[in-house]
Amino acid sequence: PFLHCPAYDDVDLEQLVNDMNSSMESVYSTQADTAVLLNNGHAPHHHHQVHTSYLGHSRRHTPPLPPSSPSRERLRHSQPMHIKAVRNLQEEHQLRPASLPAIPNPFPELCSPTGSPILSPIQTSDNHIVKVWSEDGAGKVVEIPADMTARDVCQLLVYKSHCLDDSAWALVEHHPILGIERCVEDHELVVQVQASMSGDSKFLFRKNYAKYEFFRNPLNFFPEQMVAFCQESDGSIPPSQLLQNFLNSSSCPEIQGYLYVKEPGRKSWKKLYMFLRRSGLYYSTKGTSKEPRHLQVLSDLEDSNVFTVITGRKLYNAPTDYQFCIKPSKVRSDCKELKMLCAEDEQSRTCWMTAFRLFKYGIVLYQSYNVPQQRKSNLSPFTAPVRSVSENSLVAMDFSGRTGRVIDNPIEAQSAALEEGHTWRKRSQRMNVLGSPSPLHPSSLSTVIHRTQVWFHGRIMREEAHKMMIQQGQVDGLFLLRDSQSNPKAFVLTLCHHQKIKHFQILPCEEDGQVFFSLDDGATKFTDLIHLVEFYQLNRGVLPCKLKHQCTAVAL
């Protein structure tokens, strides 16, 4: 049944097959796994012919060829390699994966790292679930990685909520039971902050215009009588030098002044002279002395954060409304561990809290402040806001003649837009929704168009307006409009200036059958509140400052 080739005439195939049978038996008798290496895993085609004859041939034992036989020398390359059968259990366990055939695994994700067919445990994700609440009580759940900062989370929420992107958005750590909250720094990791919070605590998403305001107007935040190196210098120092002393770790500025300190375990408060340094917060046991033997440490800065108390004076029986506290990071909901403090006025409280942040984070705060500034500088030199593609595809048209024409001159186009806007305002004043000339009709467009603006908050009380302004940072130019509680036809402008909140009444006045709105008893009149706000954003007028920041309530 075999074909005889000249190269194999002197080969005894039967004897070769018997020799292979005996070799295979020795291989199968080993207790370990064996691997047959035939010419490095690749056998020539004629070897497969020999192996086929072995599978169908009857078994007969003949003496093997002597080792010195030329035929055996010629076939040595096709013989199986013998593997030692004596191996201890530990060696066999270590070498088992390496002794398997080198076949690529088509499903590596279903196998354990050692290569065994046992399914590996389910890989846990590095992402974490964080729930953020808005001021209207709505919440949004986001999944974030462990290395995501507060700034990144704010950018994500701005994108998901379709808000106007600016650097004022902040993530607030809110503790309702303790009645305290703080603005999470932009560089802080949200997952780490969440790990230090109790079950009742939550994150709030809102604006905080005062987050980096001290970099723009440092002298408003650090009065000379409260900063030690200001007293030692002759006259006032420039703002740049003031901030440099705070940011430079080699300098030793300190904040000093009187604070009310709540005594531990009691409802009473004690007035002490305090010193805030890079090493911590100290109080003097002897008047205003700052000698080391008279100073006692109240709290360190490294493992603590400064919070604003938002519950008013009743909860902690505070002597004034300007409370703040220092909370150790390890404390979750134990109010006994809080260092409760109280200042004489808002400027003093802001100075202490801002200095605490600067001493703790230093140059990192300045780097976080510069990130949005650098992003603004990298934008195009045009001052016009970036518009959508569909809006950029629109052109100004003039239809005053028989045929329309495109207005190529940008100055002419802007003038036409302003003229059209004034014409529309006058037309909307004279016509109500039914088309009848009734300027005092409550459905007229001028009396309701302002309700679509983010700075208008409807029927909220004066106290609620105060609370919103404080939460979003008492910076110059922060404003909102609301309905008047005393006059149903009037409105109120709430404005912040020099960390004080002031209220200005907007009264309606009638002239030639039309209703206008005025802040200065009719000296300057406006057809609607939008027109009024736009004017005072460009001109101070009778106000102490221009309208700059809109106090908004975002809905997630």
Residue 414 belongs to a domain: no
pLDDT band at 14 (very low <50, low <70, confident <90, very high): low
Question: How many Å is the maximal CA-CA distance in the chain?
Answer: 131
Residue 44 belongs to a domain: no
Amino acid in the structure at residue 291: E
The domain in which residue 229 lies consists of 213-371
Domain count, the chain: 3
Amino acid in the structure at residue 165: D
* CATH number where 147 lies: 3.10.20.90
The CA dihedral of 373, 379, 383, 388, to the nearest 10 degrees, is -120
What does the block give as tokens for 126? 């590095």
Query: Do 252 and 365 have their domain in common?
Result: yes
pLDDT score recorded for residue 113: 53
Query: Do 182 and 289 have their domain in common?
Result: no
Query: Do 163 and 244 have their domain in common?
Result: no
Task: In whole angstroms, give the CA distance from residue 320 to residue 431.
Answer: 52
Residue 477 belongs to a domain: yes
Q: Render 472-499 in DSSP notation, one character per residue.
A: T---TTEEEEEE-SS-TT-EEEEEEETT
Highest mean pLDDT range out of 63-77, 336-350, 443-457? 336-350
Query: Do 186 and 218 have their domain in common?
Result: no
pLDDT band at 66 (very low <50, low <70, confident <90, very high): low
Q: 49-53, 82-86, 92-96, 198-202 — which is least confidently predicted?
A: 49-53
Residue 475 belongs to a domain: yes
Give the H/E segment covering residue 142. strand 139-144
Query: Do 231 and 353 have their domain in common?
Result: yes
What does the block give as tokens for 258? 């009187």
Mean pLDDT along residues 493-511: 92
What are the respective helix, strand and coil percentages of the chain, to the nearest 5?
35, 20, 45
Structure pTM?
0.64
Residue 38: other Cβ atoms inside 10 A: 15
Cβ–Cβ under 8 Å, residues 457 and 553: yes
pLDDT score recorded for residue 510: 85
Query: Do 169 and 256 have their domain in common?
Result: no
Q: Which is higher by pLDDT, 108 or 305?
A: 305
Mean pLDDT along residues 495-503: 92
Query: Do 301 and 202 have their domain in common?
Result: no
What does the block give as tokens for 152? 């990144």
Mean pLDDT along residues 268-278: 94
Residue 206 has pLDDT above 80, yes or no: yes
Query: Do 291 and 362 have their domain in common?
Result: yes
Query: Do 270 and 179 have their domain in common?
Result: no
pLDDT band at 389 (very low <50, low <70, confident <90, very high): very low
pLDDT score recorded for residue 93: 47
State how beta strands 304-309 and 295-299 pair: unpaired
Query: Do 544 and 512 have their domain in common?
Result: yes
Cβ–Cβ under 8 Å, residues 316 and 325: no
Task: In whole angstroms, give the CA distance from residue 318 to residue 309.
Answer: 10
Query: Do 185 and 256 have their domain in common?
Result: no
Q: 68-72, 223-227, 284-288, 326-330 — which is least confidently predicted?
A: 68-72
Give the bridge partners for 258, in sequence order.
Answer: 273
Task: In whole angstroms, give the CA distance from residue 540 to residue 161.
Answer: 33
Amino acid in the structure at residue 382: F
What does the block give as tokens for 168? 């004022």
Residue 64 has pLDDT above 70, yes or no: no
| Strand order across the 169-175 sheet | 139-144, 128-133, 202-207, 169-175, 180-183, 304-309, 322-328, 339-343, 255-262, 269-277, 280-284, 295-299
Amino acid in the structure at residue 316: Y
Mean pLDDT along residues 113-119: 50
Residue 524 has pLDDT above 50, yes or no: yes
Residue 276: other Cβ atoms inside 10 A: 26
pLDDT score recorded for residue 89: 46
Residue 356 belongs to a domain: yes
What does the block give as tokens for 12? 């005894």
